[in-house]
Amino acid sequence: MKIITSLIITVSLCVIFFITANAGEDYLLVETIDNIKRVFYQIMNPQEFETLQESIKTEKRLFKKNLDLTKKEWEKDAANVGVPFPAAAITPKEARLIGKFPDLSKASEKKVYYESRSAGKDDKSKKTDWRAGQAKANYLTSLKAADEKDKQKERIRQSALALFEAKLLELKSAEIQMNTPEKAQ
């Protein structure tokens, strides 16, 4: 009987400890903007946010050097002859804390709110008033041409971003190797 009682007390103390340990955990809603200005919303804990901030700090420090290396590589590639490197389209990553929430459901609600708000901004920016002096047929033709031009720009941007990210990984790994002390033999 004493064993069962002590077992019940131990289990209940563990449950109480677990509940109080997790009760203070905050959920952070973070807005991240990638290298080509796409906006994402993430829910993370403070440690993940701190890790993200450190990663972004490292990338910002290496940004100019990486952009120069990527541009040189871009110009060497025969497939990119005559295509200028879209340096203005690539920016440093950013992360911004939007808010702290005591529970996951409130953080998720806010995340959905911000994502829908962001999607609404995209829809408004793509709308164009065809009544601004053009006939509807001319408007549709120009819209198709603009859409094809946008697709081509997006392909170029994606290609440049892929090269940029590959070079960034190379720079980060080289930096890690330089900062890691060699093992004593």
Q: Are 30 and 41 in contact (CB under 8 A)?
A: yes
Residue 23: both structure tokens together: 């009760």
Q: Are 161 and 38 in contact (CB under 8 A)?
A: no
This prediction has a pTM of 0.67
Lowest mean pLDDT among 31-40, 58-67, 87-96, 121-130: 121-130
Question: Could you give the CA distance from residue 183 to residue 185 in angstroms, rounded to a whole number?
Answer: 6
Q: HSE-up of 104 (CA within 13 Å, CB side)?
A: 4
pLDDT tens digits, 10-37: 555 454 555 444 556 899 999 999 998 8
Q: Are 38 and 124 in contact (CB under 8 A)?
A: no
pLDDT tens digits, 108-153: 999 999 999 887 765 544 445 545 454 566 666 667 777 888 888 8
Q: Which amino acid is at 75?
A: E
Return the pLDDT at 174: 86
102 phi-psi bin (left φ>0, alpha ψ -120 to 50, beta other): alpha
Residue 166: both structure tokens together: 């590959």
